[in-house]
């Protein structure tokens, strides 16, 4: 306590009251004059200051105002011999937290004033610390977004130009370009790891729970990793001693990230023998626990290193000696993701004999979920013809898993099929019915397990609304009667997952036999469309290399591209070009992408679709309020750009906006 009081009698009275309140469990410093008061206030080491209003020739209000400039930031209670409302207001407006009249001063009043002053101080400190933490988190998030953008932009140029050179090269330089591409993708994976870890530590990593076709998910993971295991001549084994739920509720992206990390490590550090993956479920109080056990016959981990295994940037000495690629972030990220998903990761290992990682994840199950046996169909069991037949057809692929949409799209593109995608049954229904008015889809590939509206309901609705084209059901369910259930809902045919390429092609050929077109050898390249029929795209990108690379990719799809390097350039180019689509970088030198998009929208009653090109992922909240129709994460490639252009054009056509010509090559 600091008492600023020039009257010794008042000092003694106040000290006695404090003794009664605290019983001596306090320290009291007394400043009897203005100079002593200033010296003690400047130390800023007292919890509370009691300050007399009258200090000889000066008044306490002047010293009260001066206290902050002296460095004192603790609560000050003003003491006065007069009960004056004007003095009360003066003291409080000058910064006092309370005002006490000496003649009315009692033990209880003084105790209450001190207690409230300290409590208010603690509350204010907590509030300031919270605001400071929030400010630091905002700054960290902004830094991560900026860092991500600045690193992904040059990677776009590196990977994009490498793809273009590979397409144009036919000599030994292709091998060298392959090295550049592999290392570029490795650099991208390291960047993603660092950003993921930073997001987790900043509390900015978002989890999105969705229904997940669990057997199909496991099958996809198995077939993806089996290639790596085959390359090392080791056995990869997936086991499920019990039936598994056909659908679980979790974050599919993060669960996949955890499994690929742990299984990928097991394969990487196993040089002979096998990697075994076993999955079981056990019921908990409010949900289910998914037990995933990965056992390998690899090099193992020394006991002294096990406690450090899940710390960022840690690698076991044996791993370091093998000079394996990686930063030591994978296991740290995986454990934190598992914990965010309601579980954890543990490990048992013996040096030279292998390791066993156990991943536990809390998942939800639908009330009427079906339980099925795990079946890993052999991909590529059917032999594809050396050259795929050409089809003049338009097919909609409806599937909620992005990787499978891309895979099916690549197969269909090899047949010359124009493809569009839908991410759930409701979107599939809307797209098919909208296309009926212009260019109907010749066939629909319909996943059965999808969010919002499942494939069976979407199929039934399509039949009710008059769509008569073939609908092929894609399902991972293996229960008896599944085929009959699909056909009863209105499906024309049925394919089980994982989809065999040969069976898929044969099914489409059978259903679209009339759409087969002759395939001359060699197939003539399509004639370039006249310039006046080209769709026009405005590319707003301030990085010159990235802009040129992206423009070349888009032009190879038959579009006319104009580049603008700033918001001001973009507004001028917009008026002259009248683009059908705008691809816009988010970080521009004179404005943000959001500001420019809003400005361009005000220039036209029917503005074209705008696609955001960003170095950082949009959060769910950002996507919900975004004025962009789509979002591309750098670095971009041909498939990403092709898909974005097709989606944007189809959305624009569905809105009824007039177009200047056909899409050439997109």
- Please tell me the distance from the alpha carbon of residue 581 to that of residue 590, in angstroms, as a whole number: 21
pLDDT, tens digit, 9 for 90 and up, residues 203-262: 767 788 888 999 989 988 898 888 788 878 899 999 999 999 999 999 988 898 899 889
Question: What does the block give as tokens for 492?
Answer: 């024309």
- Please tell me the distance from the alpha carbon of residue 295 to that of residue 18, in angstroms, as a whole number: 69
What is the rounded average pLDDT for all residues in the chain?
81
- Kindly report the pTM of this predicted structure: 0.46
Residue 618: exposed, middle, or buried by beta-carbon count in 10 A (0-12, 13-18, 19+)?
middle
Ordered domains of the chain (ranges, CATH): 2-105 (3.40.50.2300), 127-201 (1.10.287), 210-372 (3.30.565.10), 390-517 (3.40.50.2300), 531-654 (3.40.50.2300)
User: At 46, is the pLDDT very low, low, confident or very high (cuts 50, 70, 90)?
Assistant: very high
- Please tell me the distance from the alpha carbon of residue 651 to that of residue 631, in angstroms, as a whole number: 14
| pLDDT, mean of residues 302-324 | 66
Least confident span in 98-107, 162-171, 469-478, 609-618: 162-171
- Please tell me the distance from the alpha carbon of residue 421 to that of residue 444, in angstroms, as a whole number: 10
Determine the pLDDT at residue 172. 67
User: At 529, is the pLDDT very low, low, confident or very high (cuts 50, 70, 90)?
Assistant: very low
pLDDT, tens digit, 9 for 90 and up, residues 85-141: 777 777 888 888 888 888 888 888 899 989 888 888 888 888 888 888 777 777 776
Q: How many CB atoms lie within 10 A of CB 422?
A: 24
Determine the pLDDT at residue 632. 87
pLDDT, tens digit, 9 for 90 and up, residues 368-415: 899 998 888 543 333 333 456 778 899 999 988 776 677 688 778 878
Determine the pLDDT at residue 532. 52
Phi, psi of 176 (to 5 degrees): -65, -40
Question: What does the block give as tokens for 639?
Answer: 């498939």
- Asked if the model's pLDDT at residue 658 lies above 70, the reply is no
Please write down the HEC assignment for all residues of 135-150.
Answer: HHHHHHHHHHHHHHHH
pLDDT, tens digit, 9 for 90 and up, residues 251-305: 988 898 899 889 988 998 899 999 999 999 998 887 899 999 999 999 888 888 8
Determine the pLDDT at residue 480. 43
DSSP class per residue in 375-436: --PPTT-SPPPSSPPEE--EEEEE-S-HHHHHHHHHHHHTTT-EEEEESSHHHHHHHHHHHT
Determine the pLDDT at residue 540. 94
CA 462, 464, 465 angle in degrees (round to 5)? Answer: 65
Determine the pLDDT at residue 315. 58
Share of the chain above pLDDT 90, in %: 28
- Please tell me the distance from the alpha carbon of residue 653 to that of residue 436, in angstroms, as a whole number: 12
Residue 588 and residue 540 in contact, taking contact as beta carbons nearer than 8 Å: yes
Least confident span in 173-177, 183-187, 326-330: 326-330
Q: How far is CA 39 from the centre of its chain?
A: 55
| pLDDT, mean of residues 157-182 | 73
């Amino acid at each position: 306590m600091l008492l600023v009081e020039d009257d010794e009698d008042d000092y003694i009275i106040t000290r006695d009251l404090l003794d009664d309140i605290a019983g001596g469990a306090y320290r009291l410093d007394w400043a009897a004059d203005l100079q002593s008061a200033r010296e003690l206030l400047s130390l800023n080491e007292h919890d509370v200051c009691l300050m007399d209003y009258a200090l000889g020739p000066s008044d306490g209000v002047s010293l009260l105002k001066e206290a902050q400039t002296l460095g004192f930031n603790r609560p000050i209670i003003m003491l006065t011999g007069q009960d004056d409302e004007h003095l009360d207001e003066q003291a409080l407006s000058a910064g006092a937290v309370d005002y006490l009249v000496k003649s009315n001063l009692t033990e209880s009043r003084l105790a209450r004033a001190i207690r409230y002053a300290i409590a208010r101080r603690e509350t204010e400190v907590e509030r300031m610390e919270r605001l400071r933490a929030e400010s630091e988190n905002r700054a960290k998030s902004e830094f991560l977004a900026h860092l991500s953008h600045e690193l992904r932009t040059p990677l776009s140029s590196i990977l994009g130009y490498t793809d273009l050179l590979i397409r144009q090269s036919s000599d030994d330089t292709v091998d060298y370009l392959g090295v550049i591409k592999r290392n570029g993708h490795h650099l991208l994976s390291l960047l993603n790891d660092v950003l993921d870890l930073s997001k987790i530590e900043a509390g900015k990593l978002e989890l999105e729970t969705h229904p997940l076709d669990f057997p199909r998910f496991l099958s996809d993971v198995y077939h993806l990793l089996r290639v790596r295991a085959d390359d090392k001549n080791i056995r990869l084994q997936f086991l499920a001693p019990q039936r598994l739920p056909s659908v679980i509720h979790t974050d599919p992206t993060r669960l996949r990230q955890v499994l690929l990390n742990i299984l990928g490590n097991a394969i990487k550090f196993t040089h002979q023998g096998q990697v075994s993956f076993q999955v079981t479920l056990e019921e908990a109080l409010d949900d289910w626990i998914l037990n995933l056990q990965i056992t390998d016959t690899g090099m193992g981990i020394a006991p002294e290193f096990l406690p450090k295994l899940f710390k960022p940037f840690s690698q076991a000495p044996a791993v370091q000696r093998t000079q394996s690629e990686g930063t030591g972030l994978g296991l740290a990220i995986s454990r934190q993701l598992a914990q965010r998903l309601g579980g954890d990761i543990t490990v048992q290992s013996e040096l030279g004999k292998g390791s066993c990682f156990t991943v536990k994840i809390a998942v939800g199950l639908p009330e009427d979920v079906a339980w099925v046996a795990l079946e890993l169909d052999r991909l590529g069991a059917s032999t594809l013809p050396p050259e795929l037949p050409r089809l003049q057809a338009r097919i909609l692929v409806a599937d909620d898993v992005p990787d499978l949409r891309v895979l099916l799209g690549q197969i269909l593109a090899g047949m010359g099929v124009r493809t569009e995608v839908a991410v759930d049954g409701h979107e599939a229904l809307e797209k098919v019915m909208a296309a009926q008015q212009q260019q109907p889809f010749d066939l629909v590939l319909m996943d059965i397990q999808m969010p919002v509206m499942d494939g069976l309901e979407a199929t039934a609705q399509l039949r009710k609304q008059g769509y008569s084209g073939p609908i092929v059901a894609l399902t991972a369910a293996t229960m008896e009667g599944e085929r009959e259930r699909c056909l009863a809902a209105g499906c024309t045919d049925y394919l089980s997952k994982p989809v065999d390429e040969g069976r898929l092609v044969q099914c489409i050929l059978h259903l679209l036999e009339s759409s087969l077109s002759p395939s001359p050898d060699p197939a003539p390249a399509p004639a370039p469309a006249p310039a006046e029929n080209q769709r026009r795209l405005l590319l707003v990108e301030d990085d010159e290399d990235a802009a040129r690379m992206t423009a070349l990719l888009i032009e190879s799809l038959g579009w006319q591209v104009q580049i603008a390097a700033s918001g001001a350039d973009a507004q001028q180019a917009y008026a002259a070009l009248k683009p059908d689509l705008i691809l816009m970088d988010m970080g521009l030198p004179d404005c943000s992408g959001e500001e420019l998009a809003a400005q361009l929208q005000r220039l036209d009653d029917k503005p074209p679709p705008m696609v955001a090109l960003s170095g950082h992922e949009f959060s769910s909240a950002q996507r919900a309020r975004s004025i962009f129709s789509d979002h591309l994460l750098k670095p971009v490639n041909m498939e990403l750009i092709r898909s974005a252009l097709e989606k944007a054009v189809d959305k624009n056509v569905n809105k009824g906006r007039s177009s200047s010509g056909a899409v050439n090559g997109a």
